[in-house]
Copies of this chain bind each other. A is one copy, B any other.
Amino acid sequence: MTVSRRDQILQVAARLFAERGYHSVGMDDIGAAVGISGPALYKHFRGKEAMLTELLVDISEQLLARGELRASIEDPKQALAALIEGQVEFALRHPDLITLHDHALNQVPTAERHRIRRVQRAYVELWVEVAMKAHPNRLDDREARAAVHAAFGLINSTPHTLRTPQRILAPMLSRMALAALAAAG
């Protein structure tokens, strides 16, 4: 695991931001957590906002990329199951990033925030299309969008529930999300 100092800092910052909230974490805290002190971080990042921005851009783009792969499966029901499984897997592997993803978006500067929102919207769109193909004639566009958001809420609840073993949690969440979407129409 040759993780660059830069990446190490990002990782630690993500954890701290998720645990305590963006504004409650000082630059000194982040520095201390990687063994350097405060202002040294400016050798690696333009500032605190830049760190958060980079994290959120990465997350949203990574989710979209993974999602596009899985959504390209021909059978809509299988594609939907794959999307769900992918989201569950990601949420379990990176609970900090999931937490950041919907707690800290308001703190990133406007221009970049719009960019992130576009990527997020594309990811939602992916799900909506697949969900409507998987359950034809049962969901209109707006309902599907709401149902997909609900499924995200379900899956992304995992950061609150990490005490349960993943072997059990992952398939359970997948089953629940699938059932919820099936019941949406």
Contacts and interface: CB of A to CB of B under 8 A. Distances in A.
Contact of A179 (B24, B168, B180): B180
A182 B172 CA distance: 11
Interface of A: 19-24, 102-103, 106-107, 142-143, 145-147, 149-158, 160-161, 163-164, 168-169, 172-173, 175-184
Given A147-B172, A153-B154, A23 B23 contact: yes
B184 A182 contact: no
Q: Which A-B residue pairs are the 3 nearest by beta carbons?
A: A153-B157, A179-B183, A23-B23
How many copies make up the complex?
A: 2
14 contacts: A24-B107, A102-B160, A103-B103, A142-B163, A142-B168, A147-B172, A152-B157, A153-B157, A154-B157, A172-B184, A176-B180, A179-B179, A179-B180, A179-B182
A150 B176 contact: yes
Contact of A146 (B22, B103, B161, B177): B161
Nearest to A103: B103
Contacts of A143: 164, 168, 172
Contacts of A169: 146
A124 to B, nearest CB: 10
Nearest to A178: B183
Given A149-B160, A152-B157, A153-B153, 6 more contacts: A143-B172, A150-B155, A153-B156, A172-B184, A176-B180, A179-B183
Nearest to A175: B183
